Copies of this chain bind each other. A is one copy, B any other.
Amino acid sequence: MAAGFGGGVWYGDAHASTSKAGAVPTTYPFRGEHQAGIVTPAQDRLHFAAFDITTRSRAQLVALLEAWTTAAERMTQGLPAGRVGPTEGAPLVPPDDTGEAIGLSPGGLTITFGFGPGMFRDQKGRDRFGLADRQPDALRDLPHFSGDQLDPARSRGDLCVQACSEDPQVAVHAIRNLARIGFGTVAVRWSQLGFGRTSTTSTSQATPRNLFGFKDGTLNVKAEEVAALEKHVWVGAEDDQAWLAGGSYLAARRINMHIEIWDRQGLLPQEQIIGRTKGTGAPLSGGTEFTPLNLTEKGSNGPLIPVDSHVSVVSSERNRGVRMLRRGYNFVDGSNALGGLDAGLFFIAYVRDPRTHFIPLQATMASNDAMMEYLQFTSSAIFAVPPGMKPGEHVGQALFERP
């Protein structure tokens, strides 16, 4: 009944076909030491949006972050985006929720905010909101990598929002309502839906498959690896700007896969490009999925895990021990002009410092990885992800407060 939506839990009338979150909790806490949606067990569906800031007013920007924080907290807890809701209030005033998630479970919705380089300086390097001296050194547009064929219209962004849920309609609803609230202050620059997660961020999850048909994310940093998270994911208190301590960096890359060409490869060549078996995901050096890689074990024709295989090229062993927390999603965005599917992986990684944990790895992959023959990078963006919020705080509050 509409009367129930004003302030109550609006998924009260959730029905079987839309409340099948299974083992995933219906809601996650919005506030905490870190933002949710990073180590939270990866939900199955994604809507990611990058925004341009269209105002020159710092006050208006802060007001937006306050309003976004309030709305995001409400939505993650299963409430409408605004107090009045989608079906109440004055008849001639637009509802403060768009309504398409009425009756749906939040499905573990998390909403994660990031700040791009453009929030600090414009393209000519000029201070935009009096924040230039607080721009982290590591927050710079990613360099050009070999193989990049980026679409500028879906790269970069001053702000980003990652919405993840078991239900895509809930994730879309979240982004749409934040865009609605931001009207006049920000505009959507690009957005991306993902329909299947390709990473595991908790040991409680089975490893999913990407559109090459292989398990993806076996060696991901997981929520349970607290020491590894401190080392590889969370920005330390002494790393750079104090406001970012407890936060992270989000690198996003839209990776088109030439799946039609891939599908013409034999099973063995596919496995040699990946470095794992397709069935169980075991490394070609033997064992089962979680058996450590043995990069030196020789077969009759060189290492069992080929030197140019993906797992070898990006292994922490060959990259000064660095690891990333990946949170990517498969996508299909219709077709391309050649009669193939416009499909691939929307790669998201959370890292402590892109200069050490992402850029070198991406560069070595671009140059050495046999998988590159089947990939095309069409979007690229980097964001600083502020830490979690205490009660009453808005996202990034410490950035705007002078110490």
Task: Give complex CA distance A86, B172 in Å.
Answer: 33
Question: Are A94 and B277 in touch, CB under 8 angstroms?
Answer: no
| Cβ of A102 under 8 Å from chain B | yes
Task: Give complex CA distance A113, B232 in Å.
Answer: 49
Question: Are A191 and B341 in touch, CB under 8 angstroms?
Answer: yes
Stretch at the interface among A19-27, A62-70, A128-136, A386-394: A19-27
Question: Are A267 and B16 in touch, CB under 8 angstroms?
Answer: no
Contacts of A116 in B (CB 8 A): none
Q: How far is the CB of A249 from chain B (nearest CB, A)?
A: 23
- Contact string, A157-197, partner B, CB cutoff 8 A, digits 1/0? 00000000011110010011001100100011111110110
Stretch at the interface among A218-226, A235-243, A257-265, A294-302: A257-265
- Contact string, A15-57, partner B, CB cutoff 8 A, digits 1/0? 1111111111000000000000000000011010100100000
* Interface members, chain A 310-341 (any B CB < 8 Å): 330, 332-335, 337, 339-341
Q: How far is the CB of A27 from chain B (nearest CB, A)?
A: 17
Which among B90, B209, B332 is the interface contact of A193 at CB below 8 angstroms? B332
Contacts of A47 in B (CB 8 A): 332
Question: Are B341 and A179 in touch, CB under 8 angstroms?
Answer: yes
| Cβ of A120 under 8 Å from chain B | no
Task: Give complex CA distance A94, B5 in Å.
Answer: 53
In the assembled complex, 25 residue pairs joining A and B whose CB atoms fall closer than 8 Å, in A order, are: A1-B280, A2-B278, A2-B279, A2-B280, A17-B23, A20-B20, A20-B22, A45-B168, A52-B339, A88-B267, A92-B268, A93-B266, A93-B267, A97-B213, A98-B263, A100-B210, A100-B212, A102-B213, A103-B206, A169-B196, A175-B341, A176-B263, A188-B340, A193-B332, A193-B334
Write the residues of chain A forming the contact surface with B, with a CB cutoff of 8 angstroms: 1-3, 5, 13, 15-24, 44-45, 47, 49, 52, 86-95, 97-103, 153-154, 166-169, 172, 175-176, 179-180, 183, 187-193, 195-196, 205-206, 208-214, 259-260, 263-270, 277-280, 330, 332-335, 337, 339-341, 343
